[in-house]
Copies of this chain bind each other. A is one copy, B any other.
Amino acid sequence: MGRPRGFDEEAVTRQAVALFSARAYDGLSVDDLVTGLGVHRNSLYKTFGSKRGLYLTVLRWYLRHKLEPALSSDTAQLQENDTLDLLLLAAAEQAPHDREVGALVGSALARLDDVLGPDAANQLLGLRLRARINTGE
Chain A interface (Cβ < 8 Å from any Cβ of B): 22-27, 88-89, 91-93, 95-97, 99, 102, 105-106, 109, 118-119, 121-123, 125-127, 129-130, 132-137
Contacts and interface: CB of A to CB of B under 8 A. Distances in A.
Contact of A96 (B92, B105, B135): B135
Contacts of A27: 24-26, 93, 97
14 contacts: A24-B26, A89-B93, A91-B92, A91-B129, A91-B133, A92-B132, A93-B93, A95-B132, A95-B133, A96-B135, A106-B134, A118-B126, A122-B126, A125-B125
A130 B88 CA distance: 10
**Oligomer: number of copies:** 2
Q: Secondary structure of the A side of the interface?
A: helix
A127 B122 contact: yes
A133 B105 contact: yes
